[in-house]
Structure 1
Amino acid sequence: MASVPVSHLILFIASLVIAAGVVGTITTGVDRVSAAVEDAGIDATEQLRTDVTVISDASAGVYNTSNHNVTLLIKNTGTQRLHPDGSDLDIVFDGAYVPPGAIEGQLVSAGDGAAWDRGDVLRLTIDVTQLEGTENGLESGTDHRVYLTVNGDEELFQFRVE
């Protein structure tokens, strides 16, 4: 008769051990999901705060035929502070990624020059001779596309070499 309470006690202890393991596993999973949601929220906030606008005029001749450079004026219209040299930008020129060594950024209008703040304008110069297929510059009468991204914000600038 004493065997029934002993077997019930063993089953009760086993169920407590299993429940403790399940709770520990679920708690760890919930913590990881919570951290991932928080990180995603921070990234989304950064993306929403970042906005740039190309203010160059495509018909004004952004391509310099003598030194084979494309010069764009880009305004920071978001609230996110960016690097004053344009190193935050990812640039694709006519479908080819532009390496950091082929670009040069200089703030045209800035307070202290330590950051590319809201309202500041960056003069971005792309040396097209460093890009594959354009070692001799851009041909006259051709259309070109510059695709800029920074923190999820995307801008497209199209121009024609005359």
Structure 2
Amino acid sequence: MDLSTFYAVVAGTCFTLVGLWWNVVERRPDWLADPDLRRLVGGVYVSFLLPALMSLFAQIDPSEPLIWRITFVAASGIGAYSTLRLIRVDRHVSTPGLVRRHRWLVAVVYGLVAVLGVVPELAELVGLTPPQAAAFLLVLLVVLAHALTWEFMTQTRKPSSAA
């Protein structure tokens, strides 16, 4: 598969997952009533929206790397910031799953994407072109997003009085 097709598939898939998430949230208005749950709900939304946007921008002009580089750096900054804020919210989970206990890894992957956007030559150290390395990191973000979504939907929270 060429990279243009890859990014098109990722963009379409992630935008579809954003739409499906809206349907899930619509059926759970109680999630939006609690500020911490609302933040986690938003975290799931952002975890699919950012890879979708990065993939969409990567397709604008593959011959002009500055477009994807700027977009990936900006989106990674937003993703890392959001992730770090959600780490505090995860303390209210009574038995966090493996991925939620290590949510900081998501921030690390976003950091790697940002570094790659700033210094694309680093991709050559692992034998990849910069867009290939970025694609690999996007796959990691989407896999982590799926795992975090599953854990969010299946974990319980501590009672509000214990928070």
TM-score class, shorter: under 0.3
Higher helix share: 2
Whichever structure has more strand as a proportion of its residues is 1
The structure, 1 or 2, with the larger RCO (C-alpha pairs under 8 Å, 6+ apart) is 2
TM-score of the aligned structures, taking structure 2 as reference length: 0.26
